[in-house]
Chain A
Amino acid sequence: MERQSLPFTIFIHIAALVLAIVILAPVVWLFVMSISSTPDLVAKPLHWWPDTVDLSRYGVLLSSVANSAGEAFVASLFNSLKVAGMATVAALAVAIPSAWAVSRTPSVGWSLYAVIATYMLPPVALAVPLYMTLAWFGLLNNIFGLALVYLTILAPFTTWLLKSGFDSIPREIESAAVMDGARLDQILRLITLPLAAPVMATAALFAFLLAWDEFFYALLFTSDQRAKTLTVAIADLAGGRVSDYGLIATAGVLAALPPLLIGLFMQRALISGLTSGGVKG
């Protein structure tokens, strides 16, 4: 690809630009909506760019006044953080040993397919049994209950992801460690897990996002500020008689921030190619 004709170069750049616009336009519009005043948003024809920048909605949503929209929003923000965080940690705790076991014992690989098969069921099919189970354990409208439900979604997915990560770590490295006298826990702690760090970070990030964005189960299994998550809180803003589109957009922007920060923070861990050099090539 050292030599490219000029039209081709232009074509590549235009294609990249179109892709960027398609991806970024909704996000930009979300942000523009969040800082537009209500008259700007309902005007006909639509004002694409607000006459005045209105940041008041951020204040509304982040206020801590009792019984305000802000209080509900902030509570749901923390619920989401707790639920997604707990579910992610639990999913990794379950997935790391099982993924390693499946990766190193190909003869039990079918079991992973069996678990993945549960993904084929639509969530709505599981909603009633899950609801009844949670009710039985008294875990409805409870962040632990919701985290438990999310664990059932995240664990198969993270196991699958980690298995392919472990697969890429040559078994010979572990064999070498066995001959060097390392115990199983030492092999995992000193060699396999450090080498799998990038894929574990990836799995954790995707698991967190999946739990963060989940709406269906959260809507069904939570009912008030003690357990409602962000997605449900945003939906609540759209309910009622009057919908403030600007407020919904603001909530959307705020909801996108924590995953974004986590993604930036984990960028270092996501660097791949950590395994290079141990074996040939």
Chain B
Amino acid sequence: MKLQHLAIIFIIIVVPISLVLSLYINNQIKSIGYQSRYDSYLIDATYDAIKAFQLNTYNNRFSTLGNSKIRDIEASINTYFDSISTNFNNYTANDIKEHTPAILFNLYDGYYIYSKYFDTELNDYTFGLKPFMYYSCRYKYGTNNDFVVNYTLDNTITIIGMVNGEYVSKTGHLISLDDEVLESMNLSSYSSWEVLEAVLNSNSNANLNKYKEVLTEDLIIFDSANGTNQKTETFEYIVYNSQKVYKNNNASANNEKYFYYSTGNTKNFVNSDDMIELLDKHIGEGNHFYSYSAIQYYYDAQEFTKWVNSNLNGIKQSHAVDNEGNKITFASDTGEADIFVTSKDNNPLKSNSVFNENRLSVIRKSIETNLIVAIDNFSDHSKTQYEFVMPNLTEDDWYKIENNISIVTFLQGLPISAKVYNNYCAISNNTNQEMVGTNSLYVIDGNGKYHLPGCQELIDSLYNGTTIEGIYLSSDFQRKSISITGSDSNAHGQLTGSNQGTYVYFYPKMATSCYNCIVTASNGYSTDDIIANTIKTSDGKNLDSSKLSNPFLIALARVRYNLYVTNGYFGY
């Protein structure tokens, strides 16, 4: 055979192989390009959804009520589909829905799953929110104990069922009775809250007075004497029945002393004499309006924890059973350790306590089980031929889901060149009014700057004598809007030179963010370090617990007490 022939045979063999290989790899590159684009679309749309939820909840003063919450979630889901379909040129929102087997919305005390369900009215499968599910676990121990514990994203639990032969339904905050703040409050000497409240009202106990807090907020108001004069004014407030009640600074009449700040920007004054009398009792030293929420939290938590410690001792992870009484295994094994008996080691506020490990395991198990079922059901009734299955969520993503309000979206079965797209996205949020995580509080120092609690700059300045001005929920530092009508709207329009003056914006806590922690955070302590008070100044000196650790715990107690707990109707 001549050399030329050999060359031709070689070309015939090599060129097609090379072409196919090149085509294949180019296809793979294209797929990767699509995949990273779709990943971005998914993350951005999920972020838009949680942002919509965040904005809706903190601008909606009724966001904690069941119906209102569902409305906020549905709005957020619409935002997700709108946002993602805007990015995808070739898919509409309805097309995307057919490739979204589930959207998980996990909230403070339970979660919603958005997926396909059977609508009996339409007699067909339709998209919507499935019923709310709690993070619950059943424990069975001997013949006298068979109860369900509903966990939340923090240390609040609800117990329903037979405990020591008696049927109980209780909700409360589980704390460590060795807590330094609790010990210094010395609350066990008071027989009931009424007795304690009377002492607080009379200002007779100097020790307890330290825990009464003056809370302030900057509200935007219109000066009625001079119609166009819009200004911000600082008011003191307390939270009563889950609503903020403000003390008027220049009250001319008795029925103008207190008000609710509604969305209408008008002062809704408290008219009821009984209510005014009750609020008057909160006026203390220096004519300030004192909040007792932190003390009340500790009082209730102490009572509840004592009950739990004496009635639920001996309950271990191995006592967890499913509805048929079979033992459940969890992702993390806490062995023979008591779950509900709290101590310095098993402090529910610490992230590595036995209680917390169990709480996280229960949340994970519950979500995992229900998501698998929801996605499987979706697959059975899907219009596409793709078989939808629940992907493996990473440990990092589980951590986010177990500790914060979050949204997990799934997008599966979209063809991308050589592959089929299959991914999920979990995005959490700690700036909302649904829950108070240990990372949801900001500290304002005496210089008018706000910090993360673990900020090194804050710790150093506290050591050098700066005082804490207040500790507030992170959502209070976000801009809020209120709608205004009538003359207020006209006045505002004149001021801004625009005729669209129906909304005004304000910051409830107007402070400058710290450049060491809030704007760019990298050198701080975790909240676990603050709770355990293991924080040090930058030159290695210990910071006294009264400077940061205790005020932080008191603020956490206050904010958690003021949170509206949806399932708190069980003897709370």
- A is bound by B: no
Show the binding face of B for A, using Cβ within 8 Å. Answer: none
